[in-house]
Amino acid sequence: MLTQQQRQLILSGAIQKVSVKDFGLRGRAEVYLLDSACVWLITRSSRFLGKDAETFVTILEAASTHEERPLTGCILIEKAPVCSKARRWLEDKDISLETLYS
């Protein structure tokens, strides 16, 4: 879980994003590396599906390898609805998922 301060830093853009290309992956995704956490901020409106969850697990593994230490995973979702199967699958992998509906 993220602290309220960490969440605010991410949402305000005060922390620099890291491209997944830096970890040797393909795509345009960007994550935030905080202390011992890898955080993916989802700002789109389309549904967050199992495919997205699997993508994050791949990103988390690559980031942990790149940082040479285990990282915890956290996904912040601003607007998108979340597939219940994806939510359960992430919980089974001990990855937190927070929705920030505003």
Asked if 85 and 48 touch (Cβ cutoff 8 Å), the reply is: no
Asked if 60 and 81 touch (Cβ cutoff 8 Å), the reply is: no
Structure confidence by residue, pLDDT tens digits, 82-94: 999 999 999 999 9
* CA gap 56, 77 in Å, rounded: 13
Is the pLDDT reported for residue 39 higher than 70? yes
Instruction: Give the per-residue pLDDT at 89.
Output: 96
* CA gap 73, 56 in Å, rounded: 8
Average pLDDT, the chain: 95
